Structure 1
Amino acid sequence: MSSKEREVREDIVRLSRSLYQRGFSVGSAGNISAAVDDGILITPTNSCLGFLDPERISKISHDGRHQSGDRASKEVFLHKAFYETRPGTGAVVHLHSTFATALSCLVDIDPDDCVPALTPYVVMRVGKVKLLDYVRPGDEKAGDLIRALGGKHAAVLLANHGPVVTGKDISSAVYAAEELEETAKLLVMLRGLPRRLLSDDNVAELRSVFGER
C-alpha cells in the first residue's frame, strides 16, 4: 500500500468520525469513497462512519472489482457513476443527514434546482442540486440516474433518501456535504416565511470568481 493511499484511508476515518459525532450520520447510514491511483476506496457495507478501521475500508478497481478490505457499500453504484461521468471527482459523500433528507421528501421543491441560492456558500461549494427519482437503496438504477446527468451536477438529492455530494478530494466533498445540510436546514426553517434569494447576477458573479460546481 502506498503512503498516499494510507493517508487517504486515514482521512476517510477521521472525517467520517467527525460527521458521525456531529449527527450528520447515524447507525450504519451513509457511505464515503475516495479515488486513489489504482482504484477507489469506499466504506464497507453496514459499517458505522463513527467507528471505521482504515485497514478494512474496501478497495475496488475502477471497473468495480473488489480488490481488498471488507465488502463495499451496497451504494457503490452511486459512487462509480460520479467517477465515470464527472472528471476531477476525487471523492463522493452520501449521507442521510436530517435536513437534506427532509428536503428530499417535500413535494413542492424544484427537481431541477432543489436547493435554491440562499447563501453564496451553497453556490460556491455545492452548485445546482438535482432531485433524482426514488429507487431502492442499493439498486443499480441509482447509478443509471446519475450517469444520465452527464456530469452536470456535483451534488444530487435522492428522493426520500438523502444527499450525494462530490468534491475534488475527500475534504472538499465532506465540506460541501456539510454546506448542503446547513443550507437545507435554513430552507426548512424558512418555509412559509418571505425569503430573499441571491439574484441571478449574484450567482453569475460567484460562478465567475470561484468557478462553477
Structure 2
Amino acid sequence: MSEEARLRETICAMARSVFDRGLTGGASGNISARLSDGRLLVTPTGSSLGTLDPGRLSLLDTQGRLISGDAPTKEMPLHSAFYETRGAKSGAIVHLHSTHSVALSMLPETDPDNVLPPLTPYSVMRLGKVKLLPYFRPGDAAIGEAIRGLAGKRGAILLANHGPVVAAKDLEAALYAMEELEETARLALLTRGMSPRMLTPAQVRDIVDHFNIEWE
C-alpha cells in the first residue's frame, strides 16, 4: 500500500473514532495531514467525520490547489497558517467542535494566553500553552492571519465560541493532543469553584524542562 493510500485510510479511521466518541458531531470538525512530498490530504467541506470515504478526501498540491477529490473544508485558512508557521513540526492538524473546550472558550475568566489550568502533567506535555483566539466567522481568512501572528510559537489554540485546533508532528500525535485538550477542559469545568490542587509552578517548569516543551 502506498504512503498516500495508508494516510487516506488512517485519516478516515481516526475521524470515525473521534465522531463515535462524541468529540465532534454532525458535519463539524476537519482534519488534514501532510504527505512526505508536501501535498495535503484534507477532509472535504460539509462532510461528517463519521462517514468519510478515503477516495473522496481532498488532495491538495503544495500551493493549496485541489488535485482530486471533493472540495476541501472551508477552514483551510487555519490549516494553511499552521503548516506555514510551524514547518516540520506540523505534519497533521485536527480541528473539532468538542463540547467542553468550546464551553471553556466562552468563560470570561479563561486566561487567553494559557487556556488550560495546570491540572495534569499530560496537558502540559502534549499541548504546552493553549492560546485563546477571538471569535471569527468559520472559514474567515482572518483566522489564518491570527494564527500567523503567533509566529509558530503555539501548537494548540482555542477559537472562541468555535472549538480547538491542534497541530502536531503526525496525525496520531495531533489526535492524542486534541483528546488531552478536551479532557483537561472537562476537568477544569468539573472542578470549577472547588479549589482543586493544581500543579505548582515548579512542577510545571520541571515538566517543561524535562520534556523540552514549548512554553512561550
Interval of TM-score (by shorter of Structure 1 and Structure 2): over 0.9
Superposition map of 1:173-192 within 5 A: 173-192=174-193
Count of equivalent residues: 212
| Matched residue SS, 1:84 | helix
CA distance in 1: counterparts of 2:148 and 2:40, whole angstroms: 18
Q: Residue 167 of structure 1 corresponds to which residue in structure 2?
A: 168
In the TM superposition, what is the alpha-carbon distance from 1:40 to its structure 2 partner? 1.0
Deviation above 2 Å: which 4+ runs of structure 1? none
Residue 89 in 1 paired to residue 94 in 2? no
Distance 1:105 1:193 in 2: 19
Distance 2:64 2:85 in 1: 15
Return the offset for 1:55.
0.8
TM-score of the aligned structures, taking structure 2 as reference length: 0.95
Name the residue aligned to 1:4: 3
Partner of 2:43: 43
Instruction: Give the match for residue 135 of structure 1.
Output: 136
Is residue 2:176 matched to residue 1:200? no
Please give the TM-score of this superposition, normalised by the length of structure 1. Answer: 0.97
Aligned to 2:22: 23
Task: Measure the CA separation in 2 of the matches of 1:6 and 1:211.
Answer: 33
Q: Distance in 2 between matches of 1:179 and 1:120?
A: 10
Alignment partners' CA distance in 1, 2:110 and 2:62: 35
1:43-66 alpha-carbon deviations (Å, 9 max, x no partner): 000000000011100011232211
Deviates more, 1:96-105 or 1:200-209: 200-209
1:211 Cα deviation after fit: 2.2
Matched, 1:153 2:154: yes
Aligned sequence identity (%):
53
In structure 2, runs of 5+ residues without a counterpart are: none
Offset, 1:25: 1.1
Shift of residue 102 of structure 1? Answer: 0.6
How big is the shift at 1:105? 1.2
Let me know the Cα RMSD of the aligned residues. 1.0
Map of 1:32 onto structure 2: 31
2:123 maps to 122
* 1:91-142 deviation line (CA, Å, top 9, x unaligned): 0000000100111111111100111211000001111000001110010100
State how far apart, in whole Å, the 2-side matches of 1:117 and 1:68 are.
43
Distance (whole Å) between structure 2 residues aligned to residue 144 and residue 61 of structure 1: 21
Worse-superposed segment, 5-14 or 57-66: 57-66
SS in 1 for 2:147: helix
- Deviation per CA, 1:51-86: give whole Å up to 9, x if none: 001110001123221111100000011111000001
Measured against aligned partners, the alpha-carbon deviations of 1:143-175 in whole angstroms (never above 9, x if no partner) come to 000000001111000011010011110011001
Look up the equivalent residue of 2:191 and give its one-letter code.
L
Q: Match of 2:112, SS?
A: coil
